[in-house]
Amino acid sequence: MTAAANQNGRRATASRRLERAGIRDVAAAAGVSITTVSDALNGKGRLPDETRSRVREVAERLGYRPSAAARTLRTGRSGLIGLTVTTYGEEPFTFTEFAYFAEMARAATSAALGRGYALVVLPASSRHDVWSNIALDGTVVIDPPDQDPLVTELYRSGVPVVSDGKPGNCPVTAWVDNDHEAAVLNILEHLSEAGARRIGLLTGTSTDTYTRLSTEAYLAWCDRVGQEPVYEAYPAHDPAAGAVAADRLLARPDRPDAVYGLFDPNGTDLLAAARRYGLRVPDDLLLVCCSESDVYANTEPPITTLSLKPRRIGTTVVNLLIDAIEGVDAGTGTATGRLFPPRYRTAGTGPPPGTLMPTELLVRASSQRRTPRTTVSPPRAPGEG
Amino acid sequence: MTAAANQNGRRATASRRLERAGIRDVAAAAGVSITTVSDALNGKGRLPDETRSRVREVAERLGYRPSAAARTLRTGRSGLIGLTVTTYGEEPFTFTEFAYFAEMARAATSAALGRGYALVVLPASSRHDVWSNIALDGTVVIDPPDQDPLVTELYRSGVPVVSDGKPGNCPVTAWVDNDHEAAVLNILEHLSEAGARRIGLLTGTSTDTYTRLSTEAYLAWCDRVGQEPVYEAYPAHDPAAGAVAADRLLARPDRPDAVYGLFDPNGTDLLAAARRYGLRVPDDLLLVCCSESDVYANTEPPITTLSLKPRRIGTTVVNLLIDAIEGVDAGTGTATGRLFPPRYRTAGTGPPPGTLMPTELLVRASSQRRTPRTTVSPPRAPGEG
DNA sequence: CGTTCATGGAGAAACGTATCTCCGGCCTCC
DNA sequence: GGAGGCCGGAGATACGTTTCTCCATGAACG
């Protein structure tokens, strides 16, 4: 009552616009102070249930919706986390076309929502600087290259950053990655057991973590078992280049009798190339590729794929990020933990905590010499020659 | 200089925390007022270039980043637009698994970024109320059902809403939809020309616009040409139900000799069902389904698909929404148009402006009796009688 | 009967920006 | 020589919350 006139004084003098009801209007209507309204609505403070419910009722009646902007300004929390991929640089969203990123982004969105956050996908750079216009509580960065300026900038300005892909040389809060080395070794071993004598690799020319680690693991394995490396690298961006590289690989004088392709389209490309050269899969050529697509379950023959389990990655990354956001106030390093005590361990000093997630090898006909079903197909004539 | 002490007084008395530089710090360091800093950085006001560049330089040196939260509070614009689908209700993100939604969302995100906005995907409802925590300049709603409470609430609170799918009975700012009627008629005509005598439909039980309009168009066509409708409806959510429905359709005594399936998996399901019943495609059964997937280019036989061109839809919807946001101040209806004059026509009163977008029929072997390559199949017996 | 607590709540200070209003000075023009 | 017009910029206010601080009241307790 007494407060009403006071609180509304300013508004009353202003124009009589029919705006949305503010917290002051609720306070006036309920005959309490705005403090009480805020406390009642947010479940804080010490208030008798009667007052609480009365205030809630009035707020409901007035159709009061708290201003997210004001709340964000006051609390410093926006409930928004960003997701971006910096590696593939300029062109926005070519990346979402990769099944891995699409699925990962979906899982990340879902995980964020499950914890009350919303996720916004942002490009590494754009004309309008969207980044500076949006209050972010934290950011997930997919596969940041060494010395990524964006990551450095974000981290320096106090925004927690969690990366998918072990970061090269950027300061991140935490990171998650597949155990690429284990995955590649597992595949090579699998192919060896299936009878492969010379295993080739179809890899990329870019320097992202995935490509680099996988290739290194392959080379190390070759070195260890004494096989001469047989690989072709191509720019993974270019869909046409993949087919050419697959062809090149099978055209080599030291043609491999088994191939692992690092990228999604490699399976069909290699299959097509094999067909051109009259190579039967899996009889003459064992095939494995990394893919999240289930079309490889229905190709002829079905192709063994390595799944990076992007959903699991996306979920983990987001949870790690939100833990960091809610655990410590990143800027000053002072633990706030009032409302949200850190439920997971929080990184102290030292290297950022990383988590390695396992991959999954879906073994299909293309990487097994003895297929269960006996086929009646006659030996095919060599390709197109 | 003189201003510096004043402006910083408050901050100086506060704790000496090493926070991010604010606009006041920049003003103090540059020896100007915060007004000048704001104007210089935002390209407004009348300032000599020398001052402008000096302020920019100081801001850069201090690593000044304007607070997005404060800007949002002040300007009432967050640069954020929401994307949600309400029809499929409770479960978040089952929808993104449909290729249509995934592609549409991708295009929408890209279009938004292209105009300086970020897009955040939100569920129709969730435990934590993410909606109220986020300042949205507008929202894209996919296929709102009649009387959608969310849409009504949004619209009432002054947030522009543009829907993908003609809205049943909700007040929206604008809407975009495919011309489903034309699409279905086109398909039926195409099938007729290919020799179909009795065309069946695989449809859904839900009441969304797409399903409803398509089914109605089918029924109307049947009525017009004097064919008895032959269709099966199933809950489109349930992937298993689709296969069962496809089977049911082909098991009917009045078995159709051509089928159009409204949903993505119908193609493979129908193909499998046809195989079970010993029906050859396209010889005994013509097939078309609505899908955005290109796997149907490689099935045996390739299946004719209807594409709803989700990318085009997503782009259009977002552009319409942003036009509305920048065109008029939705709450009061007063045109602000200071910075952003309405470039497109703005809806006055009356029904919300809607746009119908064409679809695209990708004709493949499954819907053509005479395939280019000469087949050796014998002439078929008429109908089934 | 005086002191301490717990209860219920009010006041006011931020949060950091954009922008409206206004002011002094200088130039120009009659 | 005075009056207006333009330039460059300062002051102050408002955006709508959250939250820190503090006060009044009564009850409990010695």
Contacts with B3 (C-beta within 8 Å, 6 or more apart), sequence order? B27, B28, B31, B32, B33
A68 vs B: CB within 8 A: yes
Please name which of A90, A237, A119 lies closest in space to residue B109, comparing C-alpha atoms.
A119
pLDDT at A88: 57
A113 vs B92, B106, B113: nearest CB: B92
User: Quick check: B335 contacting A, CB < 8 Å?
Assistant: no
Tens digit of each residue's pLDDT, chain A (385 residues): 333 333 344 444 333 345 678 999 999 999 999 999 999 999 988 888 999 999 999 999 999 999 999 999 999 999 999 999 865 554 444 555 578 888 899 999 999 999 999 999 998 876 678 999 999 999 999 988 788 888 888 888 889 999 999 988 888 999 999 999 999 999 999 999 999 999 999 999 988 888 999 999 999 999 999 999 999 999 988 878 999 999 999 999 999 999 999 999 999 999 999 999 999 999 999 999 999 988 899 888 999 999 999 999 999 999 999 999 998 544 434 333 333 333 333 444 567 789 999 999 999 999 998 644 444 444 444 433 2
Q: Does A96 touch chain B (CB under 8 A)?
A: yes
Q: Please give the structure tokens belonging to residue B21.
A: 């530089």
Given a contact cutoff of 8 angstroms between Cβ atoms, the answer to whether B234 and B265 are in contact is no
Assess B34–A contact: CB distance below 8 Å, yes or no.
no
Residue B367: name the closest of B178, B186, B181, B180 by CA.
B186
Q: How many A/B residue pairs have CB atoms within 8 Å?
A: 139
Cβ of A79 within 8 Å of Cβ of B135? The answer is no
Q: Residue A120 and residue B156: Cβ atoms within 8 Å?
A: no
Digit-coded pLDDT (tens) for A347-384: 445 677 899 999 999 999 999 986 444 444 444 444 33
SS3 B101: helix
How far is A151 from chain B, CA to nearest CA, in Å? 15
DSSP secondary structure string for all residues of A16-68: -------HHHHHHHHTS-HHHHHHHHHT-S---HHHHHHHHHHHHHHT----H
β-bridge mates for residue B199, sequence order: B258
Asked if A68 lies within 8 A of B135 by C-beta distance, the reply is: yes
Reported in sequence order, the residue ranges of chain A that DSSP labels E, i.e. its strands, are 80-85, 118-122, 138-142, 161-164, 174-178, 199-204, 230-234, 258-261, 286-290, 304-307, 354-357, 360-362
At a CB cut-off of 8 Å and minimum separation 6, what does A358 contact? A178, A179, A182, A309
Query: Could you report the per-residue pLDDT of A276-308, keeping only the tens digit for each?
Result: 999 999 999 999 999 998 889 988 899 999 999
Provide CB contacts within 8 A for A352, sequence distance 6+.
A167, A171, A172, A173, A174, A175
A115 touches chain B (CB under 8 A): yes
| pLDDT at residue B383, as a whole number | 38
Q: From the centroid of its chain, how far is CA A310? A: 7
User: Closest Cα partner for A101 from B83, B106, B197?
Assistant: B106
B330: nearest Cα among B152, B172, B170, B158? B158
3-state secondary structure (DSSP) of residue A287: strand
Query: Residue A104, SS3?
Result: helix
pLDDT for the residue B327:
83
- In chain B the domains, ranked by start, together with CATH numbers, are 2-66 (1.10.260.40), 80-177+311-355 (3.40.50.2300), 180-307+361-367 (3.40.50.2300)
User: Is residue A179 a contact partner of residue A192, using CB atoms and an 8 Å limit?
Assistant: no
pLDDT of B85: 79
Instruction: Verify whether the Cβ–Cβ distance B70 to A73 is below 8 Å.
Output: yes
What is the layout of strands, in order, in the sheet containing B138-142? A354-357, A174-178, A161-164, A138-142, A80-85, A118-122, B118-122, B80-85, B138-142, B161-164, B174-178, B354-357
What gap in Å lies between CA B190 and CA B151, rounded to an integer?
A: 38
Could you say which DSSP state residue A89 is in? Answer: -
A74 beta carbon to strand D: under 7 Å:
yes
Query: Which strand D nucleotides have any atom less than 7 A from protein CB atoms?
Result: 7-12, 14-21
Name the residue closest to the C1' of C6 by its CA.
Answer: A46
Is the CB atom of residue A19 positioned under 7 angstroms from any atom of strand D? yes
How many C-beta atoms lie closer than 10 Å to residue B75's C-beta? Answer: 11
Q: Which nucleotide is nearest to A50 (CA to C1')?
A: C8
Indicate the residue type of A334.
Answer: T
* A205 Cβ nearer than 7 Å to chain D strand: no
SS3 of A127-162: the string is: CCCHHHHCCCCEEEEECCCCCCHHHHHHHHCCCCEE
Q: Looking at the predicted structure, is the pLDDT value of residue B10 above 70?
A: no
Residue with tokens 């394995």: A221
CA atom of B47 to C1′ atom of C29, Å: 25
The candidate with the shortest Cα–Cα distance to B82, out of B128, B125, B137, B126, is B137
Task: Give the rounded percent of residues in chain A with a pLDDT score beyond 70.
Answer: 81
Chain A closest-CA separation from residue B245 CA (Å): 22
